[in-house]
């Protein structure tokens, strides 16, 4: 009896030491870990080693980033880099391909340029890790984490329940799928309403799978104003609007359905979870509409690129970008500059307006 008691005391002492080590590791961050799923807007190097045109591991990408070129699709920090700092992490969340061992306890970035909700999305650009693959990669991470918790699923789930999960998908399902009829048949196979419904059905299953793996505090983003990015402005000659409103209208159908899905989740469809909906469409529209107030002077062209609006393709290797990146909303044909990412991340993190973060902001989610 005494020997058994001693073993239990030793076991709980080890648990206490481990918990203390984790608490010290995560200080001063507001959450113990941050897991990221998405596309090129938040990819920080996962596409570097694969055969794809959707990669940014060359200059001038990273021209303003402390570590230089890393595979981030902008001149400096991404949206989630800034969120990590706002959450109190003392370093950025590493890409899946580079993180090992106990580093996993702080979180992982699984995002992949060209990725979408649908597996075939982005195939026109080459290899990538679609949302289904990213969820599978997280499942592998959970298996490794389980070893650190000595197979104790209850303690592991309690740990994961405190983490923030960011999921930003859907942009490429329109850019590099639905509105690319020469490569994909979806535009002829689906009406905009039916396509949005098909995307949301798949997305529902993917988010449910994340929940089954332990995700509880989940941030999902709507699709931004894609019809107004330099890539579309370079191709569209509309009469009533500079933007391609056919694309924007189709995206709005998806975004409306996604917000409705968040409401369903928060009403108990996924027990114990709390979802935050970030309205990227509204926040990106706000940047353009109030550009002068935010210090921007150029709202319709990339800081680097080729052709009309610098929107024909992404930045060329070793291309000289614009001198003052702070005056541009867009870095290239598709992606925001670091300054724009800072403004967007701050709105998502602490805005009290439900227009940008609904029903609460990320700071409030972290405190729950």
**Catalytic positions, please?**
40, 332, 335
Calculate the CA 242 to chain-centre distance.
27
Distance CA 337, CA 327 (A): 9
- Is there a contact between 115 and 129 (Cβ–Cβ < 8 Å)? yes
State whether residue 336 is helix, strand or coil: strand
- Is there a contact between 74 and 335 (Cβ–Cβ < 8 Å)? yes
What would the DSSP string read from start to end of 24-51? Answer: HHHTT-SSS-EEEEESTTT-BSTTTTSS
Other Cβ atoms less than 10 A from the Cβ of 341: the count is 25
SS (H, E, C) 205-270: HHHHHHHHCCCCEEEEECCCCHHHCHHHHCCCCCCCCCCCHHHHHHHHHHHHHHHHHHHHHHHHHC
């Amino acid at each position: 009896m005494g020997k058994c008691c001693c073993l239990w005391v030793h076991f709980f002492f080890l648990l206490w030491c481990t918990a203390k080590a984790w608490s010290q590791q995560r200080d001063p961050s507001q959450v113990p870990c941050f897991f990221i799923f998405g596309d090129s807007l938040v990819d920080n190097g996962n596409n570097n080693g694969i055969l794809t045109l959707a990669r940014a591991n060359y200059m001038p990408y990273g021209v303003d980033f402390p570590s230089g070129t890393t595979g981030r699709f902008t001149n400096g920090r991404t949206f989630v880099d800034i969120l990590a700092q706002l959450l109190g992490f003392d370093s950025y969340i590493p890409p899946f391909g580079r993180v090992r061992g106990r580093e996993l306890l702080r979180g992982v970035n699984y995002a992949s340029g060209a990725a979408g909700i649908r597996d075939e999305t982005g195939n026109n650009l080459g290899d990538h890790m679609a949302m289904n693959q990213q969820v599978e990669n997280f499942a592998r991470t959970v298996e490794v984490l389980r070893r650190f918790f000595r197979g104790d699923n209850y303690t592991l789930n309690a740990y994961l329940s405190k983490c923030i999960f960011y999921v930003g998908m859907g942009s490429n399902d329109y850019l590099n799928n639905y509105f690319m009829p020469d490569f994909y048949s979806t535009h002829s196979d689906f009406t905009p309403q039916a396509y949005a419904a098909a995307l949301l059905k798949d997305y529902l299953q993917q988010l449910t799978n994340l929940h089954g793996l332990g995700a509880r505090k989940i941030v999902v983003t709507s699709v931004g104003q894609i019809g107004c990015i330099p890539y579309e402005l370079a191709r569209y000659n509309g009469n009533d609007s500079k933007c391609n409103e056919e694309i924007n209208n189709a995206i709005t159908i998806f975004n409306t359905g996604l917000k409705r899905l968040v409401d369903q989740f928060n009403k108990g469809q996924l027990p114990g979870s709390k979802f935050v909906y970030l309205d990227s469409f509204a926040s990106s529209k706000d940047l353009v509409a109030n550009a002068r107030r935010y210090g921007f002077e150029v709202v319709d062209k990339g800081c680097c690129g080729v052709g009309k609006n610098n929107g024909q393709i992404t930045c060329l290797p070793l291309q000289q970008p614009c001198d003052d990146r702070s005056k541009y909303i867009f870095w290239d044909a598709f992606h925001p500059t670091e300054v724009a990412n800072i403004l967007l991340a701050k709105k998502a993190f602490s805005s009290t307006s439900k227009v940008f973060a609904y029903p609460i902001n990320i700071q409030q989610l972290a405190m729950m």
